[in-house]
Amino acid sequence: MSRLGLGSIAVIGAGVSGCALAAQLRLLGHQGPISLWETGRGPGGRASTRRSRQDPALRIDHGAPLFNITAETDPHLLQPLLSGGWIEPWPGVIAQLQGESSLRLGQSDAMGLGTLYRGLGGMDHLCQGLLSLAGKAFEAHYGTLVRFLAWHDGLWQLYGPDRQLLCQAQWLVLSSTLLAHPRSRMIFGWHDVPLKEAAAALADLQLDHALTLIAGIRTEARSNLLVVLDPAAGQPWRELPFSLLHFDAAAQQRWGLQQITIQPLADGRCAVVAHSSHAFAADHLDVYGTHSAVAKMLQLPPDEGRQETVIAALTAALEAVMAPWLSRPDLGSSERQLMRWGAAFPLAPGLPAELIFCAQSRLGFCGDFIAGVGFGRIEGALRSGENLARQLCSQ
């Protein structure tokens, strides 16, 4: 198949990797239809920003607060994103908490190495920028969960939860492991792993191998506390000598937190996001938070009691750890919410890059779960989308 004859492509997921794939396909000259299917309200995935129609100044980066580029060669999409005003160099200061309360300015974990960037005006602008590079000629379907997949007469078919046909396409891209990993059975109570079921009809050994390896990928969770402080309460936080505090292993064990980010809002308020440690999140996996997309999809009844307990525990840890730098970090009267990320970070080794492109089944994988530079980070998501686009266009 020639480059222009690639045909239609259905991409499941509008996180960084799915959006990078769409952008790179267009930059490489792909003219065919691209449709994006995303269960969230907009693009972003784990690099999204919480906003509110009722409160336009509210803007909280509740997943990734920044991203870093560690390899010598930048992803191709980085420069267009910078020159388009979608991202900017990260202007903040990172510090590390070591043990109980020893502060080291300028030190971080692997997320702070290399050159740091953030979405300009919110992390969700990274994906908005990628989609603007993809041009107008793609269809985005937000608020839509793809539940079933089938291969029929040489076309991929995507179905919703009620088995309604959503679309047919010549190529399918999965930018998330959700439809390929047994965890979907645990989360949603499904009896099948959708891609595995569809693959049974394909007899594609490479795809079967990829599915076996994907099934072995484990993930770490995070329970994040989002706090919005009014201008007076937020002032001392704004004056801290750091805007991101990373916790080393001993500090994580001591406090149950992994990092704190301080995000001043345009109207004088200040948002603070406390990311829990993996161990804390693992102990509270069944507490989703009122705003959880999964809880809404599953129509779970709100469990205010358990949620309040988790919020109270994270609040107490945040107040206690910040006490040496803030005279009265009393968060009791502030607005607080819980955001649980069930699969925040994939654990190595991930899916080997040579298995991402299954030409026989006309299927590709991208996402931060692909092994290689940037694994488990936005850098990896960006690079995997670019890489898959190149492989598709070389057909």
Ligand X SMILES: Cc1cc2nc3c(=O)[nH]c(=O)nc-3n(C[C@H](O)[C@H](O)[C@H](O)COP(=O)(O)OP(=O)(O)OC[C@H]3O[C@@H](n4cnc5c(N)ncnc54)[C@H](O)[C@@H]3O)c2cc1C
Q: Report the interface residues with ligand X, using CB under 6 A.
A: 12-18, 37-40, 45-47, 63-68, 111, 145-146, 175-176, 178-179, 222, 224, 275, 341, 344, 367-368, 376-379, 381
For helices 378-393 and 16-27, the axis angle rounded to 10 degrees is 40
Half-sphere exposure of 52 (CA within 13 A, CB side): 8
Nearer residue to ligand X within complex by CB, 256 or 376: 376
Nearer to ligand X, 6 or 64 (CB): 64
Instruction: Tell the smallest beta-carbon distance from residue 392 to ligand X (Å).
Output: 16
Structure tokens that stand for 231 in this block: 């201008």
Beta carbon of residue 257, minimum distance to ligand X (angstroms, whole number): 12
* Closer by beta carbon to ligand X, 39 or else 277: 39
CB of 230 to ligand X, least distance (A): 25
Asked if 349 contacts 35 with a C-beta cutoff of 8 angstroms, the reply is no
In the complex with ligand X, the residue whose CB is nearer, 6 or 111, is 111
Distance between CA atoms of residues 36 and 105, nearest Å: 41
Least distance from ligand X to the Cβ atom of residue 292, Å? 12
Q: Which is nearer to ligand X, 58 or 64 (CB)?
A: 64
Q: How far is the CB of 75 from ligand X (least distance, A)?
A: 12
Nearest Cα to Cα of residue 382 among 37, 27, 68: 68
Please state, in angstroms and rounded to a whole number, the distance separating the CA atoms of residues 247 and 356. 34
287 CB burial (10 A radius; 0-12, 13-18, 19+): buried
Torsion of CA 170, 183, 217, 369, to 10 degrees: 50
In angstroms, what is the minimal distance from the CB of 37 to ligand X?
Answer: 5
C-beta closer to ligand X: residue 58 or 366: 366
Structure tokens at 267: 């109207």
